[in-house]
């Protein structure tokens, strides 16, 4: 299985400051059709995960533009330009290129 | 908007079969892929498998021999069965719409505990 490695695992942030989460895959995530199926999810405490971004950088409807995704091949990044209180929780990257699709172990974002 | 709701027993005995149903409201199961994912404290998020509305399936090889996913388009539901469960199958089970692009939306999740 493709291993997804996130860092850091814990990220204390100050409100209004930027935050960045790294996700690395054990294999290239470029699919045979040229797409790279790297997606990001956010899970608030006690809630189901919610998809934020798919195919590296496409934001889901309703996702604030302070969230952005970037990267290629095996290295990817989720950035929050200015952290707000509602952004706390755990962020997961997920690859949909190689079956079985796999998730990273999660990065817990909390407010300092 | 599409909403999903998992239902089924919250407690299953070891060696028995875990059975869950996901009911889709606000939209049709037709035209989409539907997935089951589970989340356990020790192993994080695991993709169990998915089914196309036509009935074609794909299962995680780690569970392949024990899992069956089925769909009932007339009831707008799809289901999960995991046979011969052990304590390692204790998890929150989520259903959701989607496949390689990820899940959107997710059900609220249901905790299934395997214990005698």
Q: Is B42 a residue whose pLDDT tops 80?
A: no
How confident is the model over B46-52, as a mean pLDDT?
97
A–B interface: beta-carbon pairs under 8 A: 53
- Residue A68 buriedness (CB in 10 A; 0-12 / 13-18 / 19+): middle
pLDDT band at B41 (very low <50, low <70, confident <90, very high): confident
Indicate yes or no: CB of B61 within 8 angstroms of CB of A100. yes
Is residue B37 classed as helix, strand or coil in its secondary structure?
Answer: strand
**Alpha carbons B5 and A100: distance in angstroms, whole number:** 24
Per-residue pLDDT tens for A7-62?
A: 999 999 999 999 999 999 999 999 999 999 999 999 999 999 999 999 999 999 99
The pLDDT mean for chain B works out to 95
pLDDT tens-digit readout, B55-65: 999 999 999 78
Distances (CA, A) of B79 to A33, A86, B42, B69: 31, 33, 25, 6
- With a cut of 90, say whether residue A96 has pLDDT above it: yes
What pLDDT is stored for residue B44 in this prediction? 87
Q: Give the nearest partner residue to B100 out of A41, A96, A103, using CB atoms.
A: A96
The confidence band for A84, taking pLDDT boundaries of 50, 70 and 90, is very high
CB contact under 8 A, A103 and B58: no
CA B4 to chain A, closest CA, distance in angstroms equals 11
* Structure token digits, residue B33: 């892929």
Give the Cα separation of A79 and B109 in Å (integer).
Answer: 27
Task: Tell me whether strands B110-114 and B33-40 are parallel, antiparallel or unpaired.
Answer: unpaired
The answer to whether the CB atoms of B100 and A106 lie below 8 A apart is no
Determine contact, residues A11/A106, Cβ cutoff 8 Å.
no
Using an 8 Å CB-CB cutoff, list chain B residues near A60. Answer: 104
Reported as a single tens digit per residue, the pLDDT across B73-116 is 999 999 999 999 999 999 999 999 999 999 999 999 999 999 99
pLDDT class of B25 with cuts at 50, 70, 90: very high
Average pLDDT of A80-109?
97
Spatial distance between the Cα atoms of B94 and B44, rounded to a whole number of angstroms:
13
| B94 CB neighbour count, 10 Å cutoff | 24
The H or E element containing residue A76 is strand A75-80
Model confidence at B28, in pLDDT bands (50, 70, 90)?
very high
What pLDDT, in 10s, does the model give residues B85-97?
999 999 999 999 9
Does an H or E element contain A51, and which? strand A50-54
């Amino acid at each position: 299985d493709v291993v997804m490695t996130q860092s850091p695992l814990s990220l204390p942030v100050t409100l209004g400051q930027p935050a960045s989460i790294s996700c690395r895959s054990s294999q290239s995530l470029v699919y045979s059709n040229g797409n790279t199926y790297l997606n990001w999810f956010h899970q608030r405490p006690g809630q189901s995960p919610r998809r934020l971004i798919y195919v590296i950088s496409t934001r889901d409807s309703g996702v604030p533009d302070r969230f952005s995704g970037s990267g290629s091949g095996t290295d990817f990044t989720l950035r929050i330009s200015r952290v707000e209180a509602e952004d706390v929780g755990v962020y997961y990257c997920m690859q949909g290129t190689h079956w079985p699709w796999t998730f990273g172990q999660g990065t817990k974002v909390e407010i300092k | 908007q599409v909403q999903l709701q998992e239902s089924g027993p919250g407690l299953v005995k070891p060696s028995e079969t875990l059975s869950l149903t996901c009911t889709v409201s606000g939209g049709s199961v037709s035209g989409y892929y539907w997935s089951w994912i589970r989340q356990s404290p020790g192993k994080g998020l695991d993709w169990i498998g998915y089914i196309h509305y036509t009935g074609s399936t794909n299962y995680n090889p780690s569970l392949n021999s024990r899992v069956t996913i089925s769909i009932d388009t007339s009831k707008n539901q799809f289901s999960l069965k995991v046979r011969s469960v052990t304590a390692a199958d204790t998890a929150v089970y989520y259903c959701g719409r989607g496949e390689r692009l990820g899940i959107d939306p997710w059900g609220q999740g249901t905790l299934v505990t395997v214990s005698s």
